[in-house]
Amino acid sequence: KIQDENGCSFIIGEYIDKGSFSKVYALECCLTRRRLAGKFISKEKLQRHGISNAVWNEIGIHRRLRHKNIVQFLTYIELGSHIIIVLEYCSRYSMVHIIHALKTLTASEAKHFMIQVVSAVEYLHSNKIVHRDIKLGNLFVDKQFAVKLGDFGFAIAIKYEGQKRFSRCGTSYYIAPEVINGIGYSYEVDVWALGCILHTMLEGTPPFQGPNTTTTYNNIIRCQYRPSSRINYSAQTLINSRSQLGIHLK
């Protein structure tokens, strides 16, 4: 059993998933019996990689977000070796599982999901937040096929108009060329990821691939991918528009 600073107690349940610096377990609120999720972040791992402040940045950003398509932040608990972020429990399943099961989506199915994802991203950008790691694995899907964007470990706040960031982060299949080239980036990296996600939904594979990360990055920089004959013209045009440098989501 664990307890937050307000005296709310939680029972730790079964293991759900893991990331580079964290493990996720089911939690149960002792007061309401509500099922929640706990992201257990290792302080030692953060220190080892020189990013001890990253978790506080994640908490500071995530705790102020309120949107139906974003995983809700509830509280956090600091223990000796871990910091635990308590979140709403969405589902064990992400868009990765959906694509794995169905291989590809129809245009109408992809539209259903993308409308929700774009709504979440529009909300973030209107609040001057860049997610920087939008990918299928961070899009959680419930039994009603509602989508929630999660994992704000790489998220940043834009402090002034025109501010650029230069640190390289994200996931190789979804990373934007501005990030790879180190020329500076902002909101457009999230929009690039949306195009990659839409292509993957319709085609079943990411648009930019290679036998290794270097080849994948080279393909991204050259915007080199093979358009599919199975994707209709409107969808292909939309994907292409998301795969150009300097595109911003307004």
Residues taking part in catalysis: 133
DSSP state letters, 154-198: T-EE--STT--B----S-TTT--HHHHHTS-BSTHHHHHHHHHHH
Q: In whole angstroms, what is the distance from residue 42 CA to residue 23 CA? A: 9
From 138, 157, 140, select the one nearest 63 (Cα to Cα): 157
β-partners of residue 10 are: 2, 29
Q: What are residue 39's phi and psi, to 5 degrees?
A: -95, 105
CA distance 168 to 202: 28
Q: How far, in Å, CA of 47 to CA of 52, rounded?
A: 5
* DSSP-based three-state secondary structure for 120: helix
Residues 6+ apart with CB under 8 A from 145: 112, 113
User: Is residue 38 classed as helix, strand or coil in its secondary structure?
Assistant: strand
Instruction: State the burial class of residue 180 (Cβ atoms within 10 Å of its Cβ: 0-12, 13-18, 19+).
Output: middle
C-beta of residue 180 within 8 angstroms of C-beta of residue 224:
no
DSSP state of 128: T
The tokens describing 91, both together, are 């589902």
